[in-house]
Amino acid sequence: MAGMIGWRMLDQEWRKGPWTPEEDDLLIEYVKMHGEGRWSSVAGCSGLKRSGKSCRLRWVNYLRPGLKKGQLTPQEEGIIIELHALWGNKWSTIARYLPGRTDNEIKNYWRTNFKKKKTPSQNRQKQKLKIAFRRDHYRQEVNEKMNSFVFPYKDDNNICKMDDAVAVKSSSSTASEQQQHNQSLTGQDVASWWDIVSEDGFWSEFLWDLGNGHPNQPVMEK
């Protein structure tokens, strides 16, 4: 093929911009034949003039079976807020607990809802404040209202309560320890946990509309 060096194409040969239905079909066909991965060889095998990175992104964020379309549910939003308070901008990690949602989607959701205008530095500062506020308020509320509730954060032998989970999480010093703890919490766990605790609606008292000045909470800077 013209413009190829071995199986690789010169960078300027890659197509960019929005994907066409025809390109999607080619990529789907490729994945059917070869499975996910080996993205750098998609162009050579399928005739797509797209980089491996572009193919992977298209597949993961749009074509992959099982992806949910449409708005995030309140449950999913709650999970995002909660996990973000624990882990920060670990979008791919958060996405693992939201089956059918992509890291890109979650990242966009967060930006849309929690990063408002202003300058980047102001945004960062505000974001830190929000997270710190949310975490502290969250712990306090949890202590008061849910001390007897079984949080689905599990270690090898026990089912821990929510505050234990937070404590275990924050006391895990090494990356591998943290990863181990992270992995012990499944998306299903979180989802079912959320279904139960959201029934009486008390989460909305402090998780939703941050900064809108709920009567029972400090008013956040706008």
Residues at the interface with DNA (CB under 7 A)? 8, 15-19, 37-41, 52-54, 56-58, 61-62, 71, 89-93, 103-105, 107-109, 111-113, 116-117, 120
- Of 28 and 146, the one with the shorter C-beta distance to DNA is 28
Q: Do residues 94 and 84 touch, judged by C-beta distance below 8 A?
A: yes
Least CB distance to DNA at residue 199 (A): 27
Residue with tokens 């402090």: 206
Pairing of strands 159-160, 4-5: unpaired
- Of 70 and 215, the one with the shorter C-beta distance to DNA is 70
- Of 78 and 137, the one with the shorter C-beta distance to DNA is 78
DSSP run (H or E) holding 153: strand 153-154
Phi, psi of 187 (to 5 degrees): -60, -40
CA distance 29 to 121: 45
Q: Do residues 27 and 59 touch, judged by C-beta distance below 8 A?
A: yes
Instruction: List the Cα angle 57/63/64 in 5-degree steps.
Output: 90
- Of 41 and 75, the one with the shorter C-beta distance to DNA is 41
Q: Do residues 159 and 150 touch, judged by C-beta distance below 8 A?
A: yes
Q: Which two tokens stand for residue 159?
A: 């089912």
Least CB distance to DNA at residue 40 (A): 4
- Of 112 and 158, the one with the shorter C-beta distance to DNA is 112
Least CB distance to DNA at residue 89 (A): 4
Least CB distance to DNA at residue 123 (A): 9
Least CB distance to DNA at residue 36 (A): 7
